[in-house]
Structure 1
Amino acid sequence: MPSIASAPSPALRELAYWLFRYRRTWRGTVVISIANPLLFLTAIGLGLGRLVDDGGHLHGLTYLQFIVPGLLAAAVMQTTYVEAAGPVFTSARAGGNYRAAAATPLRPADILHGHLLFMLVRVALTAVVFTAVGVGFGAVDPVRAPLVVLAALLIGCAFAPPVAAWAVTVTRPQLLTTMLRFVIMPMFMFSGTFFAVEQMPVWLRRVVECTPLWHGVELCRTLSTGTARPVPTVVHLLYLGALAAAGLVLARRNYRRALHR
Structure 2
Amino acid sequence: MAGTLATLERNLITYKRNWRASVFSSFVLPLLFIISIGIGVGRYVGTVNGWDYLSFIVPGVLAAGAFQTAHGESTFAVMSDFKWSRAYHAMRATPLRIGHMIGGWQLYIQIRVFIGSAIFLAVSALFGAVHSPWVLVTPLVCALLALAVGAPVSAFAASLNSQSYFPLLTRFVVIPATLFSGVFFPVTQLPTLVLPLAYASPLWHAVELCRAAMLGTEPLWPAPAHVGYLLLIAAAGLVWANRAYSKRLKD
Range of TM-score over shorter length: over 0.9
The alignment partner of 2:200 has SS state of: coil
Contact 2:8/2:105 (CA < 8 Å) preserved in 1? yes
% same residue: 38
The alignment partner of 2:94 has SS state of: coil
Contact 2:134/2:213 (CA < 8 Å) preserved in 1? yes
- The farther-off stretch of 43-52 and 202-211 is 202-211
Structure 1 residues 80 and 102 mapped into 2: Cα distance closer, same or farther (>3 Å)?
A: same
Q: Give 1:96's aligned residue.
A: 86
Contact 1:92/1:98 (CA < 8 Å) preserved in 2? yes
- Aligned-residue CA RMSD (Å): 1.6
The alignment partner of 2:162 has SS state of: coil
Distance of 1:178 and 1:184 partners within structure 2: 9
Q: State the one-letter code of the partner of 1:113.
A: G
Contact 1:216/1:236 (CA < 8 Å) preserved in 2? yes
Q: Give 1:16's aligned residue.
A: 9
The alignment partner of 2:193 has SS state of: helix
Q: Give 2:77's aligned residue.
A: 87
Q: How does 1:45-56 map to 2 (within 5 A)?
A: 45-53=38-46
Contact 2:135/2:210 (CA < 8 Å) preserved in 1? no
Contact 1:33/1:129 (CA < 8 Å) preserved in 2? no
Q: State the one-letter code of the partner of 2:44.
A: L
Q: Give 1:3's aligned residue.
A: none
Report how many aligned residue pairs link the two structures: 251
TM-score, normalised to structure 1, is 0.91
Q: Give 1:212's aligned residue.
A: 202
Task: Give, in angstroms, the shift of residue 19 of structure 1.
Answer: 0.9
The alignment partner of 1:194 has SS state of: coil
- Structure 1 unaligned runs (5+)? 1-7
Contact 1:109/1:255 (CA < 8 Å) preserved in 2? no
The alignment status of 1:76 with 2:66, answered yes or no, reads: yes
Contact 1:165/1:255 (CA < 8 Å) preserved in 2? yes
Task: Give, in angstroms, the shift of residue 27 of structure 1.
Answer: 2.9
The alignment partner of 1:25 has SS state of: helix
Task: Give, in angstroms, the shift of residue 225 of structure 1.
Answer: 0.8
Distance of 2:90 and 2:50 partners within structure 1: 55
Distance of 1:33 and 1:108 partners within structure 2: 28
The alignment status of 1:178 with 2:168, answered yes or no, reads: yes
Q: Give 1:129's aligned residue.
A: 119
The alignment status of 1:253 with 2:243, answered yes or no, reads: yes
TM-score, normalised to structure 2, is 0.94
Q: Could you give the per-residue CA deviations for residues 84-117 of structure 1, whole angstroms, max 9, x where no partner exists?
A: 1111111111542111111212112211111111
Question: Equivalent of 1:106, from 91, 96, 107?
Answer: 96
Q: State the one-letter code of the partner of 1:251.
A: A
Q: Give 1:58's aligned residue.
A: 48
Distance of 2:187 and 2:25 partners within structure 1: 28
Distance of 1:192 and 1:229 partners within structure 2: 12
- Structure 2 unaligned runs (5+)? none
Distance of 1:187 and 1:9 partners within structure 2: 36
Q: State the one-letter code of the partner of 1:69.
A: P
Contact 1:109/1:256 (CA < 8 Å) preserved in 2? no
Contact 2:133/2:214 (CA < 8 Å) preserved in 1? no
Q: Give 1:5's aligned residue.
A: none
Task: Give, in angstroms, the shift of residue 31 of structure 1.
Answer: 4.6
Task: Give, in angstroms, the shift of residue 64 of structure 1.
Answer: 0.5
Q: Give 1:243's aligned residue.
A: 233
Q: How does 1:17-56 map to 2 (within 5 A)?
A: 17-53=10-46
Q: Give 2:214's aligned residue.
A: 224
